[in-house]
Amino acid sequence: MTAPTPITASSTPSTPSPAPFTAPATDELLERVAAALKEKNFDVEILDDAAAARARVKDLIPEGSAVFTVASETLRLSGIEADINESGRYDSVKARGLTMDRATQMAEIWRMIACPDVVVGSVCAVTETGSLVAASASGSQLPAFAGSAPRAIWVVGAQKVVPDLDTALRRVGEYCVPLEDERAKKVYGVPSALNRLLVLNAEPHPGRGTVLLLREAIGF
C-alpha cells in the first residue's frame, strides 16, 4: 500500500485552493460512500440539507445527555451548535466548560470534553472507501471522535467527499487549514495550525458512530 503524501503544518497557511474541494458529490457518489461507510460499521443517513440534519440530530440525542459540540462551521451554520448549547435541552459540555476556571480546572475540562455522552461535529473529508479524516490544532475533539465518547455524530457536507486518503490529506492542507486559520484569527485572535490528524478507517463498535451525509455543501 502506498503511503499517503505527508501534510505538514505551516505557520502561515497559503490561500485555500477551492477546486476541486467545493463541488458537492452526486447522489450516486454519496450512495457509494454511504455503502463503504456502512461496511465499516458506521451508521449512515443521506439527508437533503442542513435543516434535515438539524432535525435528525435532535432525534438522535436523548434529552439531558451531556453533549460536546466541536468547533465546526457546519454545526454553526446549520444551527445545530445553538440547538445543543443554548436550548437547555441538553447538558452542554461547552457551556459548562465556559463557567470553569481554566487556570485551576483545566484537567477537569479536558476530561469532560474527552468523555461526553455524545460528541457532535464534522470532518474535513470522507473518502469513497469509507474513511473519515479530522484535523485539529489543539486535539480537543479527537479523543471523543476516536472512541472515548459512547456516541458520535458527524454532519458532513457533500463537498467533503474525496476519492482517497491522499486527496483527503491534500484537502486538509490546501483547503481547510487556510480557511480555519482565517476563522481562528477572527474568533480567537490567534492563528490556527495543523497539529493533529485523525483518520477513522472503521468503527469497531457497531451503532456508536453516525454519519449524516448531506446532499448540499456546508462548512469547509
Supply the DSSP symbol for 4.
P
pLDDT(96) > 70: yes
pLDDT digits (tens, 9 = 90+) for 111-133: 999 999 999 999 999 999 999 99
CA distances from 93 to 114, 116, 141 (A): 10, 7, 12
Helix residue spans in the chain (DSSP H): 27-39, 50-60, 73-78, 80-86, 93-98, 106-114, 142-143, 165-170, 177-187
196-220 average pLDDT score: 97
Contact 200, 145 (CB under 8 A): yes
List, in order, residues 6 or more apart from 103 with CB less than 8 Å away.
none
Percent of the chain residues past pLDDT 70, beyond the cut = 91
pLDDT of residue 19: 58
Report the predicted TM-score, pTM, of the whole model to 2 decimal places: 0.90
pLDDT digits (tens, 9 = 90+) for 42-86: 999 999 999 999 999 999 999 999 999 999 999 999 999 999 999
pLDDT of residue 187: 87
pLDDT digits (tens, 9 = 90+) for 18-49: 557 999 999 999 999 999 999 999 999 999 99
Query: What is the rounded distance in angstroms from the CA atom of residue 218 to the CA atom of residue 220?
Result: 7
Q: How many helices (H) and strands (E) does the chain have?
A: 9, 10
Q: Whats the size of the chain, residue-wise?
A: 220
Extract the C-alpha cell encoding 169.
Answer: 490529506
Contact 216, 24 (CB under 8 A): yes
pLDDT(174) > 70: yes
